Structure 1
Amino acid sequence: MTADASASIGTYRCGSGQPLLVIAGPCVIESEKLCLEIANFLVELNKDLAVNIVFKASFDKANRTAASSKRGPGLEKGLEILQAVKDASGLPVTTDVHLPEQASAVAEVCDMLQIPAFLCRQTDLLLAAAATGKAVNVKKGQFMAAADMQHVVAKLVAGGCHDAMLCERGTFFGYGRLVNDFAGLPTMRSFGVPVIFDATHSVQQPASHGDSTGGDRRLVEPLARAAAAVGIDGIFFETHPDPD
């Protein structure tokens, strides 16, 4: 793996020789109370771990399967809650950015911007995120080859981003199933950026419940261990006190 693959997220460094980065939190912001509960749990958990934790929650899930699905509180309220979590827990925070015009507002609060997998090729979005000067974590599209993510990195660099990261979250294997190609982890890291493994979205079964997405949580731990064995700089877990 490339020795100089590193990025800064707030006061953290992610990459070679650095503590494992752990991005964790609920899929979507349900309430300030729940976000604070999860953040406090992560802070307590980290007393026994030597990792760097970033709190993640989305203010808007704009890519839900069904129009009736809950999307979140929206940009303004969501950023207020993320700021409250940041202030109360001391953890850096991140959230999804779906539109170029959201990037600057998100960057005022968040230490890292996350680009959803379905949007990973959107040049204007990548350039807007890069222009904020914050770290940018791009999820590899389920339809993308790992080698093609070099063009995503090139767009971010062209936009002025010095702290880019790529995230593996599975590849479509027919309908309703994702698989992980672990050979893609060193491939993406060869582009000079840290690589994150999304252990929870990798076990998704898209639209398996008709109008919503399910998954097999039993596979989260073995896939995370497999990714760690290959070599990663960080790991992503969605975290909730009542996942059912």
Structure 2
Amino acid sequence: MLRFAPQTRPDRPADFTYDGHGNRIARTVPLPQKPELTAAEQRSQRGTDNLLRVMEVLTGTPKYEEPTEEPEVTRYRYDGSHQLIAIEHGNGARSEYEYDALGRRVAKHHTTVGTPRQTTLFMWDGDWMMQEVRTGCTSHEDNAVTYVPHPDHEGPLTRLAEGQAWHYVTDHLGTPQELYDEQREVVWAADLSAYGRTTRRLAHAVDNPIRFPGQYYDQESGLHYNRFRYYDP
């Protein structure tokens, strides 16, 4: 069975734990500013491979006192087709997701405590998510972003929004590495882990949710929407 071995990057080592079916159930990394502590992410899955719960806890023996807190629990709900339809976040926020008859996600709604609901709509061309529209929370102003696909792979070529164009530089698979504006300035760039998690943002003047080919990063959950499933890097 192919699995990732422990990462030995000196700046961010990581160790992974798997269950008997090969599902990754824990990831342990040292906290960068407190090397004697580790952040352990424990997860619960059922036989259908749907993620049900994530619990983040601190482990280790600190050299100083740390506030004692209950683990923060995030719960996930699925429909009869195993599509993720809701997330109840540990901080009281809630995310909801809608799909069309082909199983493509067409809307997501995110509500945090004390703030209006934020809605994002998605338009599709086959299996390519060609446009997202973020509706105004307190006004009727909508922000539309169009993604032009690359002709040679499954990644993006161009980002169009507000009458401007930004151009992607991708790796051989189509994973975005950098995003340039019309003045050839880098407006987005990031370092990714072996699983695709963003470890460091090198430039972020413009938002870019596109990750591995076919994946869309959901900031509210940290998951990557991947057409027929959600991917947790």
The verdict on a shared fold, with TM-score over 0.5 as the criterion, is no
Bigger radius of gyration: 2
Higher relative contact order by CA 8 Å / sep ≥ 6: 1 or 2?
A: 1
The structure carrying a bigger helix percent of its residues is 1
When the two structures are superposed, what TM-score results if normalisation uses the length of structure 1? 0.31
